[in-house]
């Protein structure tokens, strides 16, 4: 098989992928940032804001899980670029519709469809960048994409501070439509073009389950990303609830917590790319950031920096930096599989992680409601379960730093 033409680190494809992930993160997290003001305006009590907020977030994450399957299969059958067009169109329209919601059922349904649309952006973008860049640079390239992209959370918070929550949704949808225009100039992967001419099965999801070795790699690829969404989906999104249990008298703004966490995550994503390059290993870089994640979680529960809101935001930043392995995690998922299954794997893997958040929330709720456990101890036990599963998975996954991606699964 001939070697396809490779792109530079700062090619248009990499730049547009970074901008795409920026918009993706904005739209993915905007609900968490404006959850309280939007639900309060819809007439919910403080308790209902927490319970209904968990329900709406779970609906969005379920949409991500189903959308991950849809876009992953289409990415290998129809091309990476077509998926980027389709997914962004759906989540842009959904976010515009979100600006008109009048009740919780509408909110749930629209966030579900937003989740379906949002599922395609990251996996297809990372797959495209990984296939276009030389193997020596793809880790840095995907880290740059994620590092810039996650800053969308910070911008979302700043916009929330300036505009009404409905306008925040309109802005997110508008940014998506503008991004569609930039997508027009993005070229398809050469590896995909080569593979599309062959008779090999493309985007067959069942191939991931029909072979024991492939299935095991697939499961482990999912499990290594669980700490990221445990931290974001529970510790950060519901930081106001933890603040109350920690005895912090000041009100904690979950939107500000998300902003600080994602600033840290952006720095972490770029840092792990450089660390992985320096160590010439994806796994060693992940070990380092897993250790930082465990330390940050311990600090989150052990100290509260004089019980102040500023201390909580500082901890959110530390947590965000420590889980800044999202780009490498998705890159590892893409590198585990051949070209005819790569988009399917790279798109479903991160969205299964996001889609597993409702299960993690369910486990957290069940544990905290046991006798004498409570909210904080329930979160600690849940964190321990997540970290054990993830650590075992990364230890037993194959190293992919030097792996040639120009091959097909049979």
**Separation CA 17–CA 327 (nearest Å):** 12
Alpha-helical regions (H) of 5-79:
12-41, 46-77
Mean pLDDT, rounded, for 151-173: 91
**Separation CA 394–CA 410 (nearest Å):** 25
Give the closest residue to 315 by CA, choosing from 333, 332, 303, 330: 303
Helix, strand, coil share of the chain (percent; to 5):
75, 0, 25
What's the pLDDT band for 1 if we cut at 50, 70, 90?
very low
Question: Is there a contact between 405 and 339 (Cβ–Cβ < 8 Å)?
Answer: yes
Q: Which two tokens stand for residue 360?
A: 């993690």
Percent of the chain with pLDDT over 90: 37
235 CB contacts (<8 Å, ≥6 apart)? 242, 297, 300, 316, 319, 379
Note the pLDDT tens digit of each residue in 59-118.
Answer: 998 898 898 889 888 888 887 788 888 888 999 999 999 999 999 999 999 999 999 998
**Separation CA 303–CA 296 (nearest Å):** 10
Give the closest residue to 218 by CA, choosing from 322, 137, 306, 337: 337
Q: How many residues does the structure list for the chain? A: 410
Mean pLDDT, rounded, for 136-144: 79
pLDDT on residue 192 = 61
Give the closest residue to 345 by CA, choosing from 72, 146, 112, 138: 72
pTM exceeds cut of 0.85: no
Domains and CATH numbers, the chain: 12-185+205-396 (1.20.1250.20)
Question: Is there a contact between 349 and 337 (Cβ–Cβ < 8 Å)?
Answer: no
Mean pLDDT, rounded, for 213-234: 93
Task: Determine the 3-state secondary structure of 44 from DSSP.
Answer: coil
Percent of the chain with pLDDT over 70: 93
Phi, psi angle pair for 211, to nearest 5°: -120, 125
DSSP letter for each residue of 94-159? HHHHHTT--SHHHHHHHHHHHHHHHTTHHHHHHHHHHHHS-TTTHHHHHHHHHHHHTTHHHHHHHH
Query: CA Rg, the chain, in Å?
Result: 20
């Amino acid at each position: 098989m001939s070697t396809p033409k490779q792109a530079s680190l700062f090619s248009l494809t990499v730049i547009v992928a970074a901008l795409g992930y920026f918009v993706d993160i904005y739209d993915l997290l905007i609900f968490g940032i404006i959850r309280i003001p939007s639900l309060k305006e819809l007439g919910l009590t403080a308790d209902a804001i927490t319970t209904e907020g968990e329900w709406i977030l779970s609906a969005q994450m379920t949409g991500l899980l189903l959308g991950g399957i849809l876009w992953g299969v289409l990415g290998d059958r129809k091309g990476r670029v077509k998926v980027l067009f389709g997914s962004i169109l759906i989540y842009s329209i959904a976010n515009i519709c979100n600006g008109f919601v009048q009740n919780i059922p509408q909110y749930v349904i629209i966030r579900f469809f937003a989740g379906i649309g949002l599922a395609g952006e990251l996996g297809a973008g990372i797959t495209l960048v990984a296939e276009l860049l030389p193997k020596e640079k793809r880790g840095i390239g995907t880290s740059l994409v994620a590092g810039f992209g996650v800053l969308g959370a910070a911008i979302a918070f700043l916009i929330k501070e300036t505009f009404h929550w409905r306008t925040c949704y309109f802005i997110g949808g508008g940014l998506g439509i503008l991004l569609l225009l930039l997508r027009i100039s993005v070229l398809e992967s050469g590896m995909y073009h080569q593979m599309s001419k062959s008779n090999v099965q493309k985007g067959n999801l069942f191939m991931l389950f029909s072979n024991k070795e492939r299935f095991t790699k697939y499961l482990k690829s999912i499990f290594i990303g669980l700490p990221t969404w445990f931290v974001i989906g529970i510790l950060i999104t519901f930081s106001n609830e933890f603040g109350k249990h920690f005895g912090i008298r000041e009100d904690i703004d979950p939107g500000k917590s998300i902003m600080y966490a994602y600033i840290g995550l952006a720095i972490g994503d770029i840092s792990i790319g450089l660390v992985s390059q320096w160590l010439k290993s994806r796994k060693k870089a992940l070990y380092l950031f897993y250790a930082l994640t465990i330390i940050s979680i311990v600090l989150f529960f052990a100290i509260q920096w004089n019980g102040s809101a500023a201390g909580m935001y500082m901890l959110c930043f530390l947590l965000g930096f420590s889980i800044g392995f999202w780009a490498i995690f998705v890159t590892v998922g893409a590198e585990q599989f051949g070209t005819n299954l790569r988009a399917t794997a790279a798109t479903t893997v991160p969205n299964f992680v996001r889609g597993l958040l409702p299960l993690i929330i369910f486990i957290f709720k069940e544990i905290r409601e046991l006798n004498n456990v409570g909210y904080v101890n329930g979160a600690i036990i849940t964190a321990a379960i997540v970290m054990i599963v993830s650590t075992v998975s990364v230890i037993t996954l194959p190293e992919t730093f030097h792996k040639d991606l120009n091959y097909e699964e049979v």
